[in-house]
Structure 1
C-alpha cells in the first residue's frame, strides 16, 4: 500500500501504541505487522444504533466470560472503536488468526454450536406479552388469506392465455404445492399460538446477525472463534437461525440432511422452547418471498423474463427444502416422544423432556425483555 494511503491506519494504530512495519490490504480488514505481533485492523461505518448494538454485544459477551469470539483490543484511551475524522470511518483492532484447514461440513457444525452458546450465555427473560401474541396471530392469518387469494387470481389470469410465459408456466406447475404449503404454514401458526397460551416468560439473546461459516476462524490448536458482529442485535434466538437456514436452503443443491444435523447440534447446546421452534418453522416455510416475486413480475416491466424466472425457481427450491427440513425435524421429535412413552410403559424409567423438542439441551432462566 502507498504511504499516502497508509496515513489513516498509522494514525489509528498509534492510539494502540503500535508502530506498523508493514500493512497488507484485505479489503475492509488490514493485516498489520508490528514488533509486538500481527494484528487485524477492521474498517466499519456504523450508524449510532449499530454502534450501540456492537458495543453492547462486545461488553455482554466479555462480562459473561464467553471466549470463543475473536477478542477486540482496547486502545490506550480505553475504547473499542476509534474514529478517523478524515475518512469518516471507525476501526477496531483484533489479533490476526491464520485460519486453519477445517472441512466445510465441520465448519457448519461448529458454527451452530457457537451460536447456541452465545444465545445461551446472553439470554435474559421477562413476562410474556400475550396481547402481542394475539395481534401477531391475527395479522398473520390475514396475510395467509391474502397470499392465497392473490395466488388464485394469478393462476386464473395465467390459464386464460393461449401461450403462457416461462414464468407463468413455472408458477402454474407448482401452484398446488404452493397452496398446500400455505395450509402447512397456517397449521404451524395455529400450533404456535396454542403453545403461547401456556407461556409465562419470554426470552431474548444477543444474535450475531450474520451467521456464516466464513465468519468462523480456527487457531493452530483447532479452536474456533466467531467474528464479524457488525450486524448484531437483541431478539429471540430464532432470528439468527432463520437468517442462517434461509441462506443455506437458497443455494442449490440444498443439503437438507446436513441442515437437520446443524439443527441438532444447535439444540444440543441450547434448547428452543416449543413456541420458539414453531415460530421458527412458521417463518421458514411461509411463502412471502414467492408472493413478492409474483407481485414484481406483474408490476415491474424492466426486469427480464430470465431473471425473474430464476428468482422464482430458486425460491420454489427454497420452499421445498424448508418444508422437508421442518418435516424431518418434526418426525424426529415425534419419534423420540414415542420412544419415551414406550420406555415408560415398559418400566424403563425413561425421563421426559420439559419441551417436545427432540434435540435436548438445558433451559436457562434470567432477567428479560420481550422482543419479536
Structure 2
C-alpha cells in the first residue's frame, strides 16, 4: 500500500487503507472517499485516450469517469507503469440477472447511437472485403472437406478425426449460410458511399457495467474501445458467452432485441452480423492446425468438442434471429401489399 502513496499524491489523495481486487485493480480508501486504481499495459496507446475523449464530448454519460491528475492527464506514470484512477461504485443492485442485462443493452444501444459517425467508403472497400471474406470461407470449407476425405480412407480414426468427420456436415452448412448472407449483404451495399461506425466497448459484460448509489448503471473498462461497426459489440459478446456447455440461449435473443428497439441495425448490418456470427471459425481453425498443435490427442479432442459446443450455442441464436427477421420481412411485405391494394 505504501508503494502507491507517491502515485496518489498526483491526485491529492491520502491513502487510509487499500485492498487488492485482482492483479490489475486495487480498491483504495482515502481522505476523499473510495477509489479504484487500475494498472494499464505499457502498450496502451492513443486509441484509449481517444475513446475517452469521445465519451466526454458525446452526450453519453453512463460511464465511470477517469480522475484527472494534477497535470490534467488521464493516465499517470509511476515506477515504469501506467495507471488511472476512477471513483469506486458500490455496485449493489437489487435487479435480477434478466433486468440487469436488459438495462445493460439499452445503455449499449445509447452508447452506439450517441457516438455514431458516418464514414466514406473509399474505392473498392466493399468488394474487396466481400471477395476476401468469401475466399476465406470457401478455402476453409475445401480444406475441411479434404481432411474428411483423407480420414475416411483410414481403417481406424483417432478420437479427434472421428469428431471432425462427425461435425463436417453441420459446419459445411453453417459456412454455406454465412456465404449466402454475405452475398445478400454485398448486393444490398450496391453503390453505397457511406457507412456508420460507433464507439464500441469490445468487452461488454455485466462485470463491466456497475451501479452507483442511485442504482444507475455505468460502463467501465474502455481500454480496448475503438470506433467500428456497431455490430462488433454483440458479435464479441455472443461469441464469449457461447463458450459453455450446450444451452439454448433465449435470453441472448431477448437482449439482442432490447438493443434493437433503441438502435436497430440497418438491413446491411443485420446481414453482415448473421454472416459473421454463423461462421464456425474456431472449428475451422482447429481442423486447419490439427497437425501443428503441440497438444496430446486428448487435449486436441477436448478443444474440438468445446469449439463444437460453442458453435451449436451460437447456431441456436443465429437460427432464432433469422426466423424472427424473416417473419418481420414477410409481415412488412404483406402490409405494403395491403396498402397498395387499398
**TM-score of the alignment, normalized to the shorter chain, above 0.5:** yes
Match for residue 168 of structure 1?
Answer: 161
Q: Distance in 2 between matches of 1:30 and 1:175?
A: 47
Farther-moved stretch of structure 1 (185-194 vs 266-275): 266-275
Q: TM-score scaled to structure 1, two decimals?
A: 0.85
Match for residue 54 of structure 1?
Answer: 48
Match for residue 33 of structure 1?
Answer: 29
User: RMSD of the alignment, in Å?
Assistant: 2.0
Q: Select 2:184's aligned residue among 172, 191, 202.
A: 191
Q: Conserved in 1, the CA contact under 8 Å of 2:105 and 2:255?
A: yes
Distance change (3 Å), C-alpha of 1:314 and 1:22: same
Q: Give the Å deviation of 1:328.
A: 1.5
Match for residue 123 of structure 1?
Answer: 116
Distance change (3 Å), C-alpha of 1:340 and 1:185: closer
Match for residue 71 of structure 2?
Answer: 77
Match for residue 362 of structure 1?
Answer: none
Match for residue 16 of structure 1?
Answer: 11
Match for residue 279 of structure 1?
Answer: 272
Q: Give the Å deviation of 1:346.
A: 5.1
Q: Distance in 2 between matches of 1:13 and 1:171?
A: 55
Q: Conserved in 1, the CA contact under 8 Å of 2:205 and 2:237?
A: yes
**1:234 maps to 2:230:** no
Q: Give the Å deviation of 1:238.
A: 1.6
Q: Distance in 2 between matches of 1:137 and 1:343?
A: 33
Match for residue 361 of structure 1?
Answer: none
Q: TM-score scaled to structure 2, two decimals?
A: 0.93
Structure 2 runs not aligned, ≥5 long? none
Q: Give the Å deviation of 1:69.
A: 0.4
Structure 1 runs not aligned, ≥5 long? 350-372
Q: Distance in 1 between matches of 2:124 and 2:339?
A: 43
Distance change (3 Å), C-alpha of 1:233 and 1:160: same
Q: Give the Å deviation of 1:341.
A: 4.0
**5 Å matches for 1:182-331?**
182-300=175-293, 302-331=294-323
Q: Conserved in 2, the CA contact under 8 Å of 1:130 and 1:197?
A: no
Q: Distance in 1 between matches of 2:264 and 2:301?
A: 39
Q: Distance in 2 between matches of 1:325 and 1:313?
A: 19
**1:63 maps to 2:57:** yes
Farther-moved stretch of structure 1 (247-256 vs 277-286): 247-256
Moved over 6 A (4+): none
Q: Distance in 2 between matches of 1:191 and 1:240?
A: 22
Q: Distance in 2 between matches of 1:14 and 1:41?
A: 13
Q: Distance in 2 between matches of 1:272 and 1:98?
A: 34
Q: Give the Å deviation of 1:255.
A: 4.2
Q: Conserved in 2, the CA contact under 8 Å of 1:81 and 1:90?
A: yes
Q: Give the Å deviation of 1:68.
A: 0.8
Q: Conserved in 1, the CA contact under 8 Å of 2:203 and 2:233?
A: yes
Distance change (3 Å), C-alpha of 1:185 and 1:114: same
Q: Give the Å deviation of 1:344.
A: 4.8
Match for residue 363 of structure 1?
Answer: none
How many corresponding residue pairs? 339
Q: Deviations over 1:15-71 (max 9, x none)?
A: 111111112222222211122211111111242xx3311111111111113211011
